[in-house]
Chain A
Amino acid sequence: MRAQDVAYRFGMTVCGHQEDAEDVMQDALMRTYQRATSIREPQAFRAWLYRTVRNACLMKRRTRVDEPRHMVSLDAGFEGDGSHPIDTADPSRGPEEVVLNNRLRQRLREALGSLPPAYRAVVFLREVEGLSTREVATVLRISEANVKQRLHRARLALQQVLGAGR
């Protein structure tokens, strides 16, 4: 995939606004163009591109007042204090199958957009781009444990959509 596609999709995932994502992509293209002669290694370029887009997204975020700021508990998979039953399948029907219809997909998209940008960045790099935990840690300059924690918390928040949508 070309750099501009990666920059746009990463920008959309982290910024959450098309206008911002387009600005971020344009900025990344400009910087890529300026650095074109000094970039030798494809892998190093990719890591540099991810960082450039992420930093541009963070700059954009400072101008947004509608950005949610909340943390997701590691226990968020079990509602409330964890003492309430989780809505499980009837054992007589065998393993529950999770089917995502259009409504659930839309709600998942909204839920992803409500996560902190730092979580969305990990989701994009790990799930969409397929980077390893170590690679994501290197790109974002955080620990591998932190990558795993953010990914897990993001998934826990998103799976609540599936619980509410059944």
Chain B
Amino acid sequence: MSRTPTNRCVALIAELSAYVDQELPPAERRALEAHVRSCGCCGTLARRLEAVAAWCRESAAPQMPADVRRRARARVAALLAGHACHDTRS
């Protein structure tokens, strides 16, 4: 199994994300799949891209901390209270 990138590897690298996302047309996908299976470089890179995509889906965006949520609720409450006062005055 090849460990050194060839010119073909470098030419195909731009397509690897589309391959990982299964967005390539069938013929292109088959051709790239055959290369990825026989090429250690591209096979490894494709698996890393898959792992990175999975990490992004699961963990890239942090959850809102409780104190931030409390402040946001207080802000919305203050806005609503201001609106109520405005309505009353009008």
Contact = CB atoms under 8 A, between A and B. Distances in A.
Contacts of B13: 74-75, 77-78, 156
Main secondary structure of the interface of A (DSSP, over half): helix
B16 A77 contact: yes
Contacts, number: 141
Contact of A8 (B44, B49, B68): B68
Interface of B: 1, 3-5, 9-10, 13-14, 16-18, 20, 23, 40-41, 43-45, 47-53, 55-57, 59-65, 68-69, 71-72, 75-76, 79, 83
Interface residues of A, number: 51
B17 A89 contact: no
Contact of B56 (A5, A96, A97, A128): A128
Interface of A: 4-5, 8-10, 12-13, 18, 22, 25-26, 29-30, 33, 74-75, 77-78, 82-89, 91, 95-98, 100, 105, 108-109, 112, 123-124, 127-128, 130, 133, 148, 151-152, 155-156, 158-159, 162-163
